[in-house]
Structure 1
Amino acid sequence: MIDTHVHFWNYDAVRDSWITEEMQAIRKDFAPKDLIQPFSDLKIEGCIAVQANQSEAENHFLLSLAEQSELIKGIVGWIDLRILDLEERLHYWSAFKLIKGWRHVLQAENDEFILNPEFIAGLQKLKQFNYTYDLLVYHSQLPSLIKMVDQVPNQAFVLDHCGKPNIKSGEIQEWAANIKTLAQNPNVHCKLSGLLAEADWAKWTENEMFKIFDVIFENFGTERVLYGSDWPVMLISRPYADWFYLVNKYAAQFTTEERTSVFSGNAKRFYQL
């Protein structure tokens, strides 16, 4: 089994200002060694380490961690897709085979950024290097995201955290309609991850989560959904095993082959592990 979405960091109060006081549980360092026990207990083979800091130094940081730990099977790094020498930088990073793709924190940007011609031109250069691209947006940004991915045919995309539906309010109809549209693009996959942070951290219910799961699997099927956790961010709500067992309980309705796809096969294909 592969967890397709984990983060590592050496906590810095200024750089990591997004980690608010209410997130006290994650205002500290997190390293691969902290995953050894939960992964061992649950028989999870490894993970995809996803950028948390928007600098190329982050790529070197994650690569250095991967040298120390076999748990890291692939890396989703950061690069500025709008720079003039993008192809040169992509060529440089292509020598580091553990880097499988890239991500920008689009949830912090406006719609103009998502649809910026320079940004889209950068996305169009990724295919020649066989790079994937992780899509991190809020549910309100999905309409712009749909327009964006349609301009980059044949690029392998994966939606992080199911497009961050507003679980807390229960208003998911518009999100569900946008997910249906987005999923019609066969190049877009979806990570079943990060949902605990979008719910009431203390009081979310299994039923709330399964309503989201229903929409995701109805539209992406078991062949385009990747299991992920968003550890350590998810720790603001529950221990790692709680999320794993929740997904596992829902997946009990699937065939053995379908469960294998969700928990490992899709990740191995998508990220070319």
Structure 2
Amino acid sequence: MIVDTHLHLIDLSALRYPWLAGVATLNRDFRYEEYAREAKRSGISATLHMEVDVDPAEMESETAYVQELAEQPGNIIAGAIAACRPEEAGFATYLERQRQNPFVKGFRRVLHVLPDELSEGTLFRENIRRLAGTGLTFDLCVLPHQISKAIALADLAPDVQFVLDHCGVPDIKGGTAHPWREHMAEIGRRDNIMVKISGVVAYADPDGWTVETLRPYVEHTIESFGWDRVVWGSDWPVCTLGGGLSQWVAATHALLAGASADERAKLLSGNARRIWKLV
């Protein structure tokens, strides 16, 4: 069975998502029921909800919304990666509130759509270091040219567990391996960083990708990090831009056909259960 570490839910009646105004294909409801039906048929037994960059005033409301869903019978949501603003003075207080809630497993601040300087700020870095010893992870969502920024952040907070999203966001459609390939090899040398095998179908040609299109990027990612530091994510509903959840699950199994049973188990569920202490 699979643990999906990267699910987004969108409910336009419950929360505000300012960025969706510029992404027409995703600017609709993508609710739990739609995801769960396909996920359970695909072998997904548990999932972590990933923050969806809601209006900053609604960050805690998003967590509460997802937690209420998770408490319903038969729900497979096992926790949440919550939104945060480490660049703000109120982060320390926010962190202490979230630490009281075991449903919160980590945090993310989307960086790939923001100025590179954000993660270089003194306050940002001081606040990220506050995660040391909490058991809470911090997801890094950066573009290939920003991976060096992610490396610097991880080096300054060696006791924090980071998670690099979406194989480092390679330009699969454009077939561009540089500087992504070199940066992935370098960031993979940091023991305090894991990586998600996720998102890649959205970066490929939606009408023309095959398993072999994805293979060089997925295999290089695994080689760079090793089997003990890889987890799997659907990136639903963003994955619908490249074919959808079922196609990505099928492609994943094909990509892992040559791996051992132990290696597949680590990537698909074992590492996620260990890192986020999932039952």
TM-score (norm 2): 0.91
Which residue of the partner structure matches residue 265 of structure 1?
Answer: 270
Which amino acid in 1 is paired with 2:7?
V
Write out per-residue CA displacement over residues 119-165 of structure 1, whole angstroms, 9 at most, x where no aligned residue.
11110001232210011111121111111211111210110101111
Which residue of the partner structure matches residue 4 of structure 1?
Answer: 5
Alignment map for 1:111-260 (pairs within 5 Å): 111-260=116-265
Which residue of the partner structure matches residue 102 of structure 2?
Answer: 97
Q: Which sits farther off after the overlay, 68-77 or 188-197?
A: 68-77
8 Å Cα contact 1:90-1:129 kept in structure 2: no
Unaligned runs of 5+ in 2: none
Which residue of the partner structure matches residue 49 of structure 1?
Answer: 49
Give the Cα–Cα distance (whole angstroms) in 1 for the partners of residues 193 and 17 of structure 2: 34
Which residue of the partner structure matches residue 68 of structure 2?
Answer: 64
Unaligned runs of 5+ in 1: none
Which amino acid in 1 is paired with 2:207?
A
Which amino acid in 1 is paired with 2:70?
A
Q: Secondary structure at the match of 1:108?
A: coil
8 Å Cα contact 1:30-1:232 kept in structure 2: yes
Give me the CA root mean square deviation.
Answer: 1.7
Give the Cα–Cα distance (whole angstroms) in 2 for the partners of residues 124 and 241 of structure 1: 38
Tell me if 1:81 matches 2:86: yes
Q: Which sits farther off after the overlay, 44-53 or 55-64?
A: 55-64
Give the Cα–Cα distance (whole angstroms) in 2 for the partners of residues 223 and 258 of structure 1: 8
Which amino acid in 1 is paired with 2:211?
E
8 Å Cα contact 2:5-2:231 kept in structure 1: yes
Q: Secondary structure at the match of 1:101?
A: strand
8 Å Cα contact 2:139-2:162 kept in structure 1: yes
Tell me if 1:106 matches 2:111: yes
Q: Secondary structure at the match of 1:106?
A: coil
Tell me how far 1:269 sits from its aligned partner.
1.2
Tell me how far 1:111 sits from its aligned partner.
1.5
Which residue of the partner structure matches residue 37 of structure 1?
Answer: 37
Residues 89 and 269 of structure 1, relative CA distance in 2, 3 Å threshold: same
How many residue pairs end up in the alignment?
270
Percent identity of the aligned residues? 27
Give the Cα–Cα distance (whole angstroms) in 2 for the partners of residues 49 and 61 of structure 1: 11
Residues 43 and 14 of structure 1, relative CA distance in 2, 3 Å threshold: closer
Q: Secondary structure at the match of 2:44?
A: coil
8 Å Cα contact 1:39-1:46 kept in structure 2: no
Give the Cα–Cα distance (whole angstroms) in 2 for the partners of residues 42 and 204 of structure 1: 20
